Amino acid sequence: MDIPEYVTDLNKLAVRSFFDTSKKFLLNIPHTITWQKKRDTWVYCNSKGSPFFLLAIGPITCNFLKGQGAYNQYLIKISLDEHQRNSLINILESCPQKQSRYIPLDIDTLKVTVKYNRVFSENQIASHAGAQIPFPDISDARSMTRESLSEELPKLDASDLTLNSTIAVKFGLVASSFNTTSISTRLETVTLISLSDDAAEVSYETPKKKRRLVLFNDSDDE
């Protein structure tokens, strides 16, 4: 039996609401989350000094979660709505490391990356025998309900994330000054909220590198 469209729409709203109400969501960050100095870098941290991971929600505009070859990293871009964009700008501008020349935000597009060797240990990388496997921390929340909140979400392959699909990206922020000052992201997890009807094929061709972005479980502590 086909599921009525209004039922699936209600479920999408329920799933989206779960992320919207999180204290990690860009619009709900507690005032106790601040930039803290860690040696030669500034890290966005909770009150206990541990890195704090934010949530951003938006449609995919670029998907390189199968790796970027010579760049040896994963990368994904999403489009932010005006409210999330303004909130992220406020966070970036509050960093004590001023005059940052490189930031992970281009107009309304958030760029989130993580180096391959920060996802896997040396032994794990050796077991890959020189191959780059897809980013492993991708979950599918489309069927999530309040009753299933405590259950582990099913895993999803990177190639299943079509362009314009709505996802929640969890990431950290760090500011460094090595040659040129930059504020960078570190990708932690990706969660699919709704799949796009757009069947446009996702390209995994390595793009030209335009800017240098580098970065650093999850704690709910404020």
pLDDT of residue 9: 61
Is residue 183 a contact partner of residue 216, using CB atoms and an 8 Å limit? no
Please report which confidence band the pLDDT of residue 77 belongs to, taking 50, 70 and 90 as the band edges.
Answer: very high
- Cα 127 to chain centroid distance, Å, stands at 26
pLDDT at position 19 over 80: yes
Three-state DSSP class for residue 185: strand
The two three-digit tokens of residue 128, written as one number: 């890959």
pLDDT at position 13 over 90: no
pLDDT of residue 198: 62
C-alpha distance from residue 65 to each of 38, 60, 77 (Å): 29, 11, 10
**Which segment of 89-93, 97-101, 209-213 scores lowest on mean pLDDT?**
209-213
Q: Which helix (H) or strand (E) holds 28?
A: none
Question: What integer is the mean pLDDT of 153-170?
Answer: 94
* Mean pLDDT across the chain: 82
Q: For 184-207, what is each residue's pLDDT tens digit?
A: 999 999 999 999 876 544 444 444
pLDDT of residue 17: 84
Q: For 25-74, what is each residue's pLDDT tens digit?
A: 999 999 999 999 988 889 999 999 999 999 999 999 999 998 888 889 99
pLDDT at position 120 over 80: yes
The two three-digit tokens of residue 20, written as one number: 């919207």
Q: d(Cα 98, Cα 108) in Å, to the nearest integer?
A: 21
Domain ranges of the chain: 5-194
Please report which confidence band the pLDDT of residue 3 belongs to, taking 50, 70 and 90 as the band edges.
Answer: very low
Which is higher by pLDDT, 96 or 98?
Answer: 96
Q: d(Cα 23, Cα 197) in Å, to the nearest integer?
A: 30
Question: What integer is the mean pLDDT of 81-92?
Answer: 96
Please report which confidence band the pLDDT of residue 179 belongs to, taking 50, 70 and 90 as the band edges.
Answer: low
